[in-house]
Structures are given as structure tokens and as C-alpha cells.
Amino acid sequence: MSDTTVTNRNVTSIDELVRDSYKKISLYSPNRTPAEVDLSDNTNCWGVPPNTTRLIREMDLTPFTRYPNIYSKGVKETVAEYLTDADNKVGIENVVTGCGSDDVLDSIFRAFGVAGDKVVYPVPSFPMIPLFATMNGLESVGVQLTDSFDLDVDAILAEKAKIVYICSPNNPTGTPVSRAAVERVVKESGAIVMIDEAYAEYAGESFLDIALANENVVIIRTFSKAFGLAGLRIGYAVGGTTAVAEIEKSRGPYKVNALGERAAIWSMTEDMDWVNEKVAEAIANRDRLIEELRGMGLSPIPSVTNFVMVPVAKPMEVEAEMRKLGVAIRPFANLPIVGDTIRISVGPWDMMEKALKALKAVIG
């Protein structure tokens, strides 16, 4: 027995035991009051893919008493096939999965960052990044995007960080970063470069080729958006074999549950037509939504995703008032570059009509 057990330390308060750095972490708490039309989190407003739904209903549940496959081999195989094309050859050794891409991001930080290492990330972007950095004992520094929402490469390089996070297309702005900027960061930073492509299916463009060609780059994808499976928590990263093997070590063997594993595979093998069709519909409805917002005298930011960011005055009040009318959107007060703004997820056109009607009622 060790003589340094907790009871031997005369601890007077649990506060002495908690990590200092955790005191500034608050729990994720977006307004999740149920709303008739929920356009707040960019998940798939068309629902779970139909064949996957049927296969889940018909599924034999016996395997649930045992552990899922170690390291989700089946998902890796299917992802490798899904991503392989004339230009990119992805093998199972290039893929690592996780409990949502959140978990993959966290595993990447843990795999490469040791206490005190620096993570640099764009601002504004995915708010979980500085939190995951803190959770892993890493220092994090935000670098503002340029006025055209591209990476400020010189400012990123000046930070000399161990890990660089990039989100393209970027959440919450909906904008892509340029290939030239990504290539410069990859070549000149000497860092692990993680490119979050949660919305790649909508954007068309991907940096997968850069991840396969450079050992220090991984892209991160998810089943939570275009594939309609956010509740089942499945994500993955793709990159060079060494980086992927290191992330696999930090990830642990059973991060994807047995149902999520099956659903992810079915969505890629039985529902790709549906996924592609709904992506196309989201893109068409997004462009139509942008036109309607312009017609209201607003200036939405051009988007390559399934959501639209539009500056409005008093976004917190707009959110509260729209919610009373049954429509949930995400407000941002005083966001760098953009200012006061709301983000609206794109779904079937009848949902967009309800959102536009509520927005018009609130801002006149």
C-alpha cells in the first residue's frame, strides 16, 4: 500500500484535490428546451437515414451483452472504402474512430500534447477546442481569422504551437479556409495539424489529400451531421499511419458502442443515395434561405455548410423570442469579426419557412 493515499494527506477540502485549471471550465449548456423546429445544432433535420432506421429496428440485440469490436474495425473498413477514390487511397491503417468526433479531437490532443504544450485555434470557431485543451493540461491560444474568414497564417506560425486546430468549413461562420493557407500551415508550422471537417459532405472540398500526403496532418469527420446519427456518437480521423496509430493508443479500445458501430456502417453502405440527396437538398435550401434573408435587408455570410450565420442586433433576445414562436436557433453576442449574430441550421423548406416567419415577426 502506498503511504500517499488521500486519507493520509489531511485534506481539508476537495478543492485542494481538483485540478486548478479545471476551475475555469463550465459545462456545455446551450438552451435545449424542446422547440417545434430545432435549428440550433446543425444536425440533420431530415432525420436518421431510412434504411439504417429499418436495420436498427430489425437488429438482433444479442451482441449487446458483449463488448463491441475492438477499435471499431468494421467502421474503419467501411470509412476507408467510402473515402477511397481515384485521387485518394485510404486504408484501414489510415482511420481511427471515436465516440463522436469530439472524442477523436480529445484523443488527438492527448496523443500529441504533453502538459504545457500549446494548441492554437482560429477565432471564432468550434468552442470545444480550448476546453479540450484545458482538460488535457494544454495551453490554448486563439488566433483571429482574417476579415475574409481565412487563416491568419503568419499569426498562427508566430505562436510556434505543438498542435494547430483548423475547422473547414468553419463552425459557426459556415466559411471555408483556403487551400493555400492550409498548405502553408502544414509545411511551415512543424506542428500536428488537425483539420475538423464536420461539414465536408456539404462543402464538397476536403483536405483529405493533404492528410494522406503529410505525416503531421489529420482530418476529423463525423456521422453527426450529413449522416444523421448525432445521438449515436460516432466520429473518425484520417491521416498517416504513424499519427493514426498514436491516436489509437490514446483512444482506448471500446469508444464506439455496438449500436453506433452498426448504424455507421449501414449509413455508409445502405443509405449513401439518401445522404447525397439530403446534402443536395440542404445546399439548395441554404441558398434559398440566404436569398430570403437578403430580401429582409439582412447580410448573411456566404456558407458552404448546412447552416447560415446572419448578423442581427440583440441576438440573445432574438433567440428567446423566436423560441417562444417554436423555433430554436443559436445566438452569438459580440462574436469576433462578425459581431452580434445568429446561426440557423438548414432543413426541409417547411422548416425554413417557419424560421423565416418567426425571424420576421421578431425583428420586423
Binding-site size, ligand PLP (CB under 6 A): 14
Beta bridge partners of 38: 328
203 binds ligand PLP (CB under 6 A): no
109 binds ligand PLP (CB under 6 A): no
303 binds ligand PLP (CB under 6 A): no
- Our CB check for ligand PLP shows the closer of 100 and 315 to be 100
- As measured in angstroms, the least distance from the Cβ of 302 to ligand PLP is 18
Please state, in angstroms and rounded to a whole number, the distance separating the CA atoms of residues 363 and 47: 29
- Give the one residue of 44, 55, 96, 102 binding ligand PLP; rule: CB under 6 A: 102
Region from 16-24, 100-108, 288-296, 323-331 binding ligand PLP, contact rule CB under 6 A:
100-108
Please state the separation of Cα 239 from the chain's center in Å. Answer: 17
Region from 8-16, 133-141, 200-208, 219-227 binding ligand PLP, contact rule CB under 6 A:
219-227
What are 29's three cell numbers? 449548456
- As measured in angstroms, the least distance from the Cβ of 116 to ligand PLP is 25
- Give the one residue of 136, 206, 222, 306 binding ligand PLP; rule: CB under 6 A: 222
123 binds ligand PLP (CB under 6 A): no
HSE, side-chain direction, 13 A CA sphere, residue 125? 30
What are 245's three cell numbers? 496509430
Cα angle: 231, vertex 232, 237; to 5 degrees = 115
135 binds ligand PLP (CB under 6 A): no
State whether the Cα torsion 158-161-167-172 is positive or negative: negative
Task: Characterize the bridge pairing of strands 192-196 and 163-167.
Answer: parallel
Beta-carbon contacts of residue 339 (< 8 Å; ≥ 6 apart)? 311
Give the x/- contact pattern for ligand PLP in 224-263, rule: CB under 6 A.
Answer: xx----x----x----------------------------
CB 321 within 8 A of CB 194: no
- Of 280, 287, 292, nearest to 302 (Cα)? 287
- Our CB check for ligand PLP shows the closer of 195 and 358 to be 195
106 binds ligand PLP (CB under 6 A): no
CA distances from 54 to 47, 267, 268, 274, 276 (A): 13, 11, 14, 14, 19
Residues of the shown chain interacting with ligand PLP in the complex, contacts defined by CB under 6 A = 42, 100-102, 126, 167, 171, 196, 198, 222, 224-225, 230, 235
